[in-house]
Amino acid sequence: MDPNQQQQQLHVVFLPFLAQGHMIPITDMARLFARHGVKSTIITTPLNAPLFSGKIDRDAQLGLQIRTHVVEFPAAEAGLPEGCENLSRANESFEMVVTFYKSMELLRRPVEELLQQWRPDCLVADFPFHWASESARKLDIPRLYFNATGSFAMCLCECLNRHQPHKRVESDSEPFLLPGLPHEIRVTRGRIPGEFRPEVNDDDPSVKELRDLMLESEVTSYGVVVNSFYELEPGYPEHYKHEMGRKAWFIGPLSLSNKDDMKHKAERGDSAAAIDRHESCLRWLDSKEPNSVIYICFGSIPIPFNADQLREIAAALETLLSRQISFIWVVKKEEWLPEGFEERITEGGKGLVIRGWAPQVLILDHGAIGGFVTHCGWNSTLEGVCAGVPMVTWPLQAEQFLNEKLVTDVLKIGVGVGAEEWSIQERKIIVGREEIQSAITRVMVGEEAEEMRSRARKLKEIAVMANEEGGSSYFDMELLVQELTDLRD
Ligand code: UDP
């Protein structure tokens, strides 16, 4: 690139929260910007840097202007154990999670120093960096806000905040209507994000203050980049922009925007041994009939299921084997499984347990996968949509309950399991094996399953089109780059 061009090239700095569910979509976003001619720099910390390297290095070799920049993370100063640089490490207790969120303040000084030095054209910062709007203002550049969820959940949260309908019901299981939204959405108090449920909330005022700061920074940012596409959340992008008054661009699904190298997903900083494991998992899937395998994964953060709950899941999966429904179940290392379970299901390749990290996007994309049991993290929800598979929704916390509603009630590509009065802190309520079996059977076989699968496949096609030239996400991305260019000029 000649020096003139280099000078004209937009430079956008990305600051992802230190959690897989944020770093993965922001890596894809930075790559998307780079493909639109922007110089992209991702700021991260030493222990997280390898998570970016596989893809970024390959892009850099292709001549794209993309790189990571590492800043030290003072875990000890934040009151965190040494090496605690990722939310999944901090997930041992509610207090530690709160400390982790608060510790993002410690990145402010080094990030501001870098911004001063680089003088980029825009800062894209994740929601926990509530100070980022102020940092960007000091340089007179726009801060774009990202929070790794869709407009459906953001609109529902705003509705709960504004109208407080959950305060007018008698019990956690009484359904109530969320007013003023594009669809009639009913929820229960037992299944809305924790911040709206005082009884499961802590009484530390600093937590409320932190939440308020994050919310405020959404409103005071220049605009919001959303990992979604207009057709997925019918009416909600418009509601978010016009009723809630936010400036927003819908540029997802980000995992698809770089779909030409999807097959390299397993290389995201993985060791050779991990790549081997991933390949053998895909070979195992090759031996299965189309739509015969259910994939079960509850996201990147170890879920505190207790032994009783794990026993119920295991029993349900074993019973389903006798009905020709096979499975891949991703468990995090420390999780207990019933005695003899793994030996029994591994014998003859009936089912597969993956310990640790699974190549989720590749698994979901495999023709043998007929359904997905998901906790409804937004990335997983989108990945399910992009693979065109129906889902069993099993939300556990935060906005996952709201994402579930989009899948089951609006898009009608999934069925829910789980108790009406679930609380992640208490974890008292166990979903029984019959309920799990029944939900999985509903998405895997029969007329209802076929209808859901056909709707899911249609959505997959629309998702792909949204990312192609002339598609809605492609169009929004072009508008965004143009606006950033105009602001600079
Ligand atoms: N993921 C994966 N393998 C795993 C667990 C998770 O590839 O074993 C990826 C998944 O594909 C998704 C992300 O991690 O991109 C999880 O994000 P999500 O928003 O679904 O859930 P979170 O982990 O943030 O709760």
User: Which residue's CA is the closest to the ligand 1 atom numbered 24?
Assistant: 21
Sign of the torsion angle spanned by Cα atoms 55, 57, 58, 64: positive
What are the backbone dihedrals phi and psi of residue 369, each rounded to the nearest 5 degrees, phi first?
-80, 125
> 360 C-alpha to center of ligand 1: Å?
7
pLDDT of residue 420: 60
For residue 266, what pLDDT is reported?
46
Q: According to the model, what pLDDT value does residue 267 have?
A: 45
**Placement of tokens 């000078």 in the chain:** 7
Q: How many angstroms does the Cα of residue 133 sit away from the middle of ligand 1?
A: 27
Ligand 1 touching residue 296 (CB < 6 A): no
* Alpha carbon distance 473, 234 (integer Å): 14
Q: How many CB atoms lie within 10 A of CB 32?
A: 23
| Separation between Cα atoms, residue 90 and residue 105, nearest integer Å | 16
Structure tokens at 319: 């019973």
Which amino acid is present at 240?
Answer: Y
Which among 174, 230, 183, 158 is positioned nearest to 409, based on CA atoms? 183
Is ligand 1 within 6 A of the CB of residue 300? yes
* Ligand 1 atom nearest 300 alpha carbon: 23
Q: Are 421 and 350 a contacting pair, CB within 8 Å?
A: no
Can you name the residues that pair with 40 across neighbouring β-strands? 12, 66
Predicted local confidence at residue 427, as pLDDT: 54
Beta bridge partners of 70: 44
Question: What ipTM was predicted for this assembly?
Answer: 0.99
Taken as a whole, the chain contains a residue count of: 489
Establish whether residue 301 lines the binding site of ligand 1, counting it when its CB lies within 6 angstroms of any ligand atom. Answer: yes
CB 196 near ligand 1, within 6 Å: no
**Spatial contact of 329 and 296, defined as CB atoms under 8 Å apart:** yes
Centre of ligand 1 from the C-alpha of residue 374, in Å:
10
DSSP bridge partners of 413: none
- 10-residue mean pLDDT series, the chain (489 residues): 69 97 95 95 95 84 91 91 90 88 95 97 97 96 96 94 89 89 90 75 74 89 97 96 94 81 50 78 94 96 84 94 94 78 87 91 95 97 97 92 95 86 58 94 96 97 95 97 93
Distance, CA of 338 to CA of 293 (rounded, Å)? 21
Per the CB < 8 A criterion, the answer to whether 172 and 429 are in contact is no
466 within 8 A of 474, measured Cβ to Cβ? yes
Residue nearest ligand 1's atom 2 by CA: 360
Instruction: Give the Cα separation of 312 and 381 in Å (integer).
Output: 24
CB 46 within 8 Å of CB 73: yes
Q: How many CB atoms lie within 10 A of CB 472?
A: 18
In angstroms, rounded to a whole number, what is the distance separating the alpha carbons of residues 101 and 237? 28
CA-closest residue to ligand 1 atom 14: 300
The CA distances from residue 155 to 159, 214, 219, 360, 396, in Å, are: 6, 16, 13, 28, 20
At 180, list the tokens: 């003023």
Answer yes or no: is the C-beta of 24 below 6 A from any ligand 1 atom: yes
- The sheet with strand 369-374 has its strands ordered as 351-355, 326-331, 293-297, 369-374, 391-393, 414-416
Q: How far is the CA of 384 from the centre of ligand 1 (A)?
A: 11
- Ligand 1 in reach of 16 Cβ (< 6 A): no
Residue 27, ligand 1, Cβ within 6 A: no
138 C-alpha to ligand 1 centroid (Å): 34
The CA-CA-CA angle for residues 59, 65, 71, to 5°, reads: 95
Q: Whose CA is nearest to atom 18 of ligand 1?
A: 377
How many helices, marked H, and strands, marked E, lie in the chain? 20, 15
Known catalytic residues? Answer: 22, 126
Element (H, E) at 218: helix 205-220
